[in-house]
Amino acid sequence: MTRFPNVALLFGLAALGLAACGEAPPPAAAPERFTIAEPGPIPVTEQQPGDPVAGYRTVVNRGYVTCGIPYDAFRSSGLLEAGEPRLSGREGRNAELPYMFNSTVSGEGVELVVSNCLTCHASEFEGELVVGLGNPLLDFTNDPSVNAELLGAFVEDGAPAAAWAKWADRIAAIAPYMVTDTVGVNPAPNLTLALIAHRDPATLAWSAEPRLEPPPREPLPTKVPPWWRMQHKAAMFYNGSGRGDHVRYMMMKSLVCTDDIGEAAEIAEWFRDVRAYIASLEPPAYPFPVDEELAAQGEKVFAGTCAGCHGSYGADRAYPNLLIDLEVVGTDPAYARQAVESERFVRWFNRSFYGQGAEAMPALGYVAPPLDAVWATAPYLHNGSIPSIAALLDSTQRPTYWQMDTEPRQYDPDTLGWRFEALEFGKEAVEDLQRAKRIYDTTRHGYGNQGHQFGDALGEQERSALVEYLKTL
């Protein structure tokens, strides 16, 4: 029996987002907006109401990605035996599937297994699967189209073959733009741009050949932020883009399969509830002991050093939604610059179905995020280049080359990060390709660990107290 353990490569589309209802007509032509956002506070937009309970059911049961693998082929391939943790509330066939897959039936009556958001937006912490926590161990370093083609050997002729071919063709079209060189980083932004390049903005019709010049083939690294931050954020993305109606961004995961406005409108109706569910999520509580006296000292350090950008917490909570200029924050600029330079994709979004009530407005800067349960979200910065909070607060402790310990993966409550090994060499010095893929090399384009040096001015005792306080958020 053939096994395909790297399910992230088969369905590595979960970090996008999408939605739609009925036979809606194509949107009227809209002005092709392109605005570069300025540093400062991001305006808060009132979001669509929804039912969080229904939203959870949609996430774990519904086929909001409408193309995938015929169920019989999925079962025959061995993927059904992935042995992943199970989730509550899974209904029917979904109860037997790994948590990152849902079951649906195509318009032609073929039962399909399709990806859901939890491929990227769920991760284990201390043996428990935490929905909404980004997965820092996903592997996007191999070509997903290879396994997609191999699965074709398990597909029957007729309607199942046609359903598989549609999915496999889409994967083949976008695969060159979603292969990373490092395990643990996520290619979702580049993948989204690759999907956009193949679609008509007015009708969403798919074109086998790109309609726009595709994005670069080497995706810049990003880390998946936790879902529980969304209830506080005015813009969805690191660079201040993703303003307005968050539903229109969240539903774009299904862009790989959604071929018309009617289908998109139906998914959008479902995703009102999904957004409400995501906004209802509360952060997990720190599971280890906390030195309350030291944390109280750290709260004062936080108020004087961090709160101006990251907000205050507790009874008087306030979050400023501040977009910080690149020259001020100093972190790796590649992601912010690429978004600003990708004007053709911004214009596509803003005039498409997804831009109705929403606007992609990138900036040459990054948003200082809310820090709820920040202790659980290692590694740090938008590109995941710093393995612990202790190293984030002391730039002299940041390794140039490092590798996360994964056998077993262990959390370090002293540094607030996953245990790692600092290395004296980068990828080029390693002959074993699989080992090289697990090395984070901060000298590579987009992988830099510079900037955010605001903790360097603190004394060792102040940093220790600040780390302890962050455990309480």
What confidence tens digit (pLDDT) does each residue in 381-437 have? 999 999 999 999 999 999 999 999 888 889 999 999 999 999 999 999 999 999 999
* Position 75 pLDDT exceeds 60: yes
Q: How many domains does the chain have?
A: 1
Q: In the predicted model, what is the mean pLDDT of the chain?
A: 91
Q: How many CB atoms lie within 10 A of CB 245?
A: 22
Q: How confident is the model at residue 37 (pLDDT cuts 50, 70, 90)?
A: confident
Q: What is the mean pLDDT of residues 124-131?
A: 93
Q: What is the dihedral of CA 436, 441, 447, 448, to 10 degrees?
A: 180
**Is residue 309 included in any domain, yes or no?**
no
What value does the mean pLDDT take over residues 144-155? 92
Whether the predicted pLDDT of 237 surpasses 70: yes
Average pLDDT over residues 349-366: 93
Q: What is the mean pLDDT of residues 96-125?
A: 94
Structure tokens belonging to residue 472: 């309480």
pLDDT band, very low/low/confident/very high, at 82 (cuts 50, 70, 90): low
Q: Among 29-38, 153-162, 189-198, 259-268, which stretch is predicted with the lowest mean pLDDT?
A: 29-38
Count of C-beta atoms within a 10 Å radius of residue 7: 20
Position 35 scores a pLDDT of 85
* 26 occurs within a structural domain: yes
Neighbouring residues of 225: CB distance < 8 A, sequence distance ≥ 6: 134, 238, 369, 377
Q: Is 243 helix (H, G, I), strand (E, B) or coil?
A: strand
Q: Which segment of 114-118, 251-255, 303-307 scores lowest on mean pLDDT?
A: 251-255
Q: How much is the pLDDT for 36?
A: 85
Residue 10: per-residue pLDDT: 52
State residue 79's pLDDT score.
82
What average pLDDT score do residues 290-312 get? 97
Tokens 């220790």, residue? Answer: 464
Structural domain contains residue 411: no
What average pLDDT does the segment 16-32 reach? 40
Determine the Cα–Cα distance for residues 269 and 71; give it in Å rounded to an integer.
26
- Residue 209 counted as domain residue: yes
pLDDT at 221 over 70: yes
Where on the phi/psi map is residue 369: left (φ > 0), alpha (ψ -120 to 50), or beta? beta
pLDDT of 18 > 60? The answer is no
Q: Is the pLDDT of residue 13 over 50?
A: no
| Beta bridge partners of residue 363, listed in sequence order | 37
pLDDT > 70 in the chain, percent: 93
Band the pLDDT of 32: cuts 50, 70, 90: low
Indicate the pLDDT class of residue 3, thresholds 50, 70 and 90.
Answer: very low
101-111 pLDDT, tens per residue? 999 999 999 99
**pLDDT tens by residue, 317-337:** 999 999 999 999 999 999 999
Q: Residue 367 falls within a domain, yes or no?
A: no
Separation of alpha carbons 204 and 352, rounded Å: 8
Question: 333 in a domain, yes or no?
Answer: no
Distance CA 86, CA 179 (A): 28
Cα–Cα–Cα angle for 52, 229, 192, nearest 5°? 85
Question: Is residue 85 over pLDDT 80?
Answer: no
Strands (E) located in 61-154: 69-70, 101-105, 111-115, 122-125, 128-131
H or E element that contains 421: strand 420-423
Domain contains 169: yes
d(CA 52, CA 70): 30
Q: Which domain does 145 fall in, by range?
A: 7-280
Residue 429 to residue 439: CA distance in whole angstroms = 11
Does the residue 376 lie in any domain?
Answer: no
Token couple for 180: 């990373």
Q: Does 12 have pLDDT greater than 50? A: no
**Lookup result for tokens 């086929």:** 63
